[in-house]
Amino acid sequence: MSNIIPGSRNVQLDDIARKLGISKTTVSRAISGKGRVSEKTREKVLDCIRVMNYSPNMIAKSFSEKKTYNIGVVIPMDNMETEAPFFQTCLMGITKCCALRNYDTLVISAERDGITQLKRVLESRKTDGIIITRPLQSGNMEQLLTDMNVPYVTVGQSTDPDAVTIDSAHQEGCFELTSYLLMNNKPNKLGLIIGSMEQTVNRSRYEGFVKAVGAAGPNVPNKTVFLGVNGELQLRRVIDDLLRNECSCIICGDDIICMYVVNMLASIGKQIPRDIRVASLYNSMYLDMYSPPITALNFRAGDLGAAAANLLLNILEGKETPQETVLGFEMLIRKSTM
């Protein structure tokens, strides 16, 4: 049913122009709406385009306009995060949103704070702007982007004060969840396990925790905090530690850490929430499936991605944009902390 003739040369502006006996400039204008074109010509052109099944060669357009209609998305491809649902969901939000505005999404890999791939893509000039999905403390990427004068948005706080960011209210979320746990569970010992402090998001989480503990006043339980926890082995040691200290409530930095924790607890016969309570500072579908389901902060990664994309595209189109946008969260109180 397709009206494409296999192997045939693609129809281009000139073909439309010749067919209609007008110049390709006029055709170009009719399409873009940029110059003045009579209503009649415009309609003729648009009709003809449909009939002849024309669609512009975006590479030629890119070349001429010096605008690629691509954005690059930097995704971590190292260690534990490699399979983290957040980045996948975020990427989908970005991709869908871009498609709506006729942009495309180029994937750029990042290992730790390496910038090799980002640099390669920037030098190729294949993108108009960049989204950083995991800003790091080092700010290497932001530095490079600033040097090369490429617009970018970070999903989460950046150490670059000039960065345009779209963030979730991690600190507030963590504050509220911690406060809730302090109020409602009266844990005598509270544990916090957070991943690499290289990641700005983990700093926000930690700050929220500290504030909540501070605000709790004199009723603060003993607390044990583990920062920069990475990999299964470290995690195992940390949990052993917490259990030895008779910790009665563990707050996990994200869904992956939390799954490890829940499963390790199960493997040594500890029951949630009877023996120990568990909560996560980042929800994903998996935490909801657990039995019991795990209390968690929910942030909607897809929306974040979409918002980041819209923000970046607005910047690219010269629209005014806020320097910092914060999206809210839901606190999902589930059985694991009841």
Footprint of its own copies (CB under 8 A): 2, 4, 6-7, 10, 55-60, 62-63, 68-70, 73, 75, 77, 82-83, 85, 87-89, 91-92, 95-96, 99, 102, 104-109, 117, 120-121, 123-126, 143-144, 146-149, 259-260, 263-264, 266-267, 284-286, 289-292
Q: Rounded CA gap, 243 and 107, in Å?
A: 41
Taking the complex as a whole, the smallest distance from the CB of residue 97 to DNA amounts, in Å, to: 22
- Contact stretch for DNA (CB under 7 A) within 7-15, 190-198, 272-280, 281-289: 7-15
Q: Are 236 and 264 in contact (CB under 8 A)?
A: yes
Task: Label residue 33 left, alpha or beta by phi (over 0 means left) and psi (-120 to 50 means alpha).
Answer: left
Q: How many residues bind DNA (CB under 7 A)?
A: 30
Exactly one of 19, 41, 146, 216 binds DNA (CB under 7 A); that residue is: 41
Q: DSSP string covering 250-267, please?
A: EEESSHHHHHHHHHHHHH
Tell me whether residue 41 or residue 146 sits nearer to its own copies (CB atom): 146
Q: Which of DNA, its own copies, none binds 35 (CB below 5-8 Å, type-dependent)?
A: DNA
Residue 40 partner contact from DNA, its own copies, none using kind-dependent CB cut-offs of 5 to 8 Å: DNA
Q: How far is the CB of 190 from its own copies (least distance, A)?
A: 24
CA-atom Rg of the chain in angstroms: 26
DSSP secondary-structure letter at 92?
H
Closer residue to its own copies in complex, CB, 81/167: 81
CA distance 285 to 301: 12
User: Residues in the chain, how many?
Assistant: 338
Residue 48 within binding range of DNA, rule CB under 7 A: no
In 10 A of CB 169, how many CB atoms? 17
Which partner from the list DNA, its own copies, none does 36 bind, CB cut-off 5 to 8 Å by kind? DNA
Site string for DNA, 114-153 (x = CB under 7 A): ----------------------------------------
Question: What are the helix (H) ranges across 186-284?
Answer: 200-215, 231-244, 255-267
Q: Closest separation between CB of residue 115 and its own copies, Å? A: 11
Q: Rounded to a whole number, what is the distance in angstroms from the first to the last CA of the chain?
A: 59
Closest CB 330 distance from its own copies, rounded Å? 18
222 touches DNA by CB under 7 A: no
Given a contact cutoff of 8 angstroms between Cβ atoms, the answer to whether 279 and 337 are in contact is yes
* Contacts by 149-156, CB closer than 8 A, 24 or more apart: 150/122, 151/312, 151/315, 151/316, 152/312, 153/129, 153/308, 153/311, 153/312, 153/315, 155/90, 155/131, 155/304, 155/305, 155/308, 156/199, 156/200, 156/201, 156/204
Structure token digits, residue 233: 């082995």
Alpha carbon 98 to chain centroid, angstroms: 14
Q: Is 12 in the site for DNA (CB under 7 A)?
A: yes
Residues 21-40 that bind DNA (CB under 7 A): 21-26, 28-29, 31-32, 34-38, 40
- State the minimum distance, in angstroms, from the CB of residue 62 to DNA: 9
Contact positions toward DNA, by CB under 7 A?
Answer: 9-10, 12-14, 21-26, 28-29, 31-32, 34-38, 40-41, 56-57, 60-61, 63-66
